[in-house]
Amino acid sequence: MTALMVLTGAERCFIYWLAYAFVGWAWETGLSVVLRRRFEDRGVLNGPLCPIYGFGGLLAVAMLGDVSNPVALFLSCGVLACTLEYLSSWAIEALFHVRLWDYTGKPFNINGRVYLNGFLAFGAGATAVVMVVQPWMAGIVESWPPLVLHLVAGLLCAATLADAAVTVAGLVSFDTRLGRVAEDLKELKLEQIRGIDDRITAADEQWERRMAEARSDLETASEEARGRIRGTLNWQQRRLIRIFPTLTSSRDAGLAERIRALLERRR
């Protein structure tokens, strides 16, 4: 009986985690639509989930659920959310040698990992979770028959674990593959782009013809670069570069931006 109760509690927590991770994905994706005027799947995982929001929601409920003062709750939620975001950014960079987000230049940022707007937004969101969302959602989930809970949690857990395994595998090889792309771009730049620049700056009677040839060669070089990028980085890795505008690699801070520019030029 005790084991069953523990299992049921874990399954409910997982459902809550999924709900908050999905809401986080919807928030990030919606914000991207508003700010960048196009739809972008902003989940770190391949599915519509932002795991950090799931963990943030659970931690806020578990650690701050007994705080009754709204102001104290808001401030505590903001500190908790920023702590989680900072540690997540640090851990990802330490493990995979890439920084997915960078708030350098934003007001009151700390090492580019967290900043004021995040404190305010996540503090308000977590306060709403603790005071309103969690009690409402708990009432729904706790009313599910045990069999329904076991089936739903089991299937979704299997799918999420498979997605996480694919994502982690992509992150593990991400830095190495970025290194290969850097070498490819360096080779193309030395062998082709430099020659193109020389021809563009050569002023003589055949200027127009040389300009046309240079543009053609530049597009050929760019197309070859895009081909090498697609051959080296898998779909998931290219997606991470696309959806995280401030993503940087420990190898080369500007590499991701150059890759993004090449890939978006074709779109």
Q: How many CB atoms lie within 10 A of CB 98?
A: 21
Q: What is the pLDDT of residue 157?
A: 96
Give the separation between CA 38 and CA 243, rounded to whole angstroms.
11
Query: Per the structure block, which two tokens stand in for 179?
Result: 């290194």
Q: What is the pLDDT of residue 14?
A: 97
Q: What is the pLDDT of residue 151?
A: 96
Give the separation between CA 126 and CA 81, rounded to whole angstroms.
8
Phi, psi of 11 (to 5 degrees): -65, -40
Q: What is the pLDDT of residue 3?
A: 77
State which residues of the chain have pLDDT below 50.
190-191, 194, 203
pLDDT digits (tens, 9 = 90+) for 195-216: 555 555 554 556 566 666 656 6
The ranges assigned to domains in the chain are: 2-143, 165-191+222-265
Q: What is the pLDDT of residue 234?
A: 83
Residue 146, burial from CB neighbour count under 10 angstroms (0-12, 13-18, 19+)? exposed
Q: Note the helical H segments in the chain.
A: 2-36, 51-64, 70-96, 116-128, 134-141, 146-188, 194-200, 207-232, 235-243, 255-265
Q: What is the pLDDT of residue 204?
A: 52
| pTM greater than 0.95 (yes/no) | no
Q: What is the pLDDT of residue 15?
A: 97
Q: What is the pLDDT of residue 247?
A: 86
